Amino acid sequence: MQSFRFIVASALLILLSHFYTNAQNTHLPYSAGNKEKINAAAELSRNIELTAGYRFKSGNEGLKAGLGVNNLVFHRIGFYTSLEYALDGKNFSNTVGGTVSIFKYAYLWGGMDFFTKKGLFQSGFEGIRKEAGVGITPYKFLVFRVGWSSSVGPSVAAGVRIQI
């Protein structure tokens, strides 16, 4: 059993080091040896994100799924929607909002619920569900999203990014 754990740990370490070294070589800026200059429009390409995640706050634990389309307007502004379902079955929300790219590997996102029980149209401004956070692309097609909401606490999501 010990040898199996050692083999698995070694394989993971080799894969991580391979991804890390390849990612570093392909994303060097022009001044650091990369021979191609890339303009801002090409650097912030349009993409679609599919994510799945979890809400952690005690009493509000839940699952989260998201869909986003980034860099549509001015190669910086995009849109997203997030569906959340509480594990106790009492709460469901559909958050809709926008994204703003900071640079190629990071963006800010934020939105609110409009239509469900915690939405603007049913609960008004007092009980509305809002969220905001940061999205990071650490390697080519992977994306991680970390968010916070005053009503349900922190959330984390991970997924894939597909260029369009």
For the record, the structure tokens of 41 come out as 């429009």
In a domain, 159, yes or no: yes
Number of domains in the chain: 2
Same-domain check for residues 138 and 114: yes
pTM recorded for the entire structure? 0.70
Is 109 a member of any domain? yes
Handedness of CA 116, 120, 124, 128 (dihedral sign): positive
Q: Rounded to an integer, what distance in angstroms lies between the CA atom of residue 110 and that of residue 95?
A: 9
Domain check: are 20 and 73 in the same one? no
37 found inside a domain: no
What is the DSSP secondary-structure string of 27-38?
A: T--GGGT-----
| Cα–Cα distance measured from residue 148 to residue 55, given in angstroms and rounded to the nearest whole number | 9
Domain of 48: which CATH number? Answer: 2.40.160.90
Determine the 3-state secondary structure of 82 from DSSP. Answer: strand
Q: Could you list the pLDDT tens digit for every one of the 164 residues in the chain?
A: 555 555 655 555 565 555 545 554 445 454 555 555 555 545 788 999 999 999 988 777 899 999 999 999 988 999 999 999 988 878 888 999 999 999 888 999 999 998 887 778 777 777 788 899 999 998 889 999 999 998 888 999 999 999 98
Rounded Cα distance, 34 and 25, in Å: 9
16, 53: one domain: no
Bridge partners, residue 148, by sequence: 132, 154
| DSSP, residue by residue, 91-120 | -EEEEEEEEEEEETTEEEEEEEE-SSTTSH
Same domain, 119 and 53: yes
Domain of 22? Answer: 2-32
15/88 same-domain check: no
Q: What is d(CA 17, CA 24) in angstroms, rounded to the nearest whole number?
A: 11
Judgement on whether residues 115 and 140 belong to the same structural domain of the protein: yes
Q: Which helix (H) or strand (E) holds 89?
A: none
Q: Strand, coil or helix: what is 163? A: strand
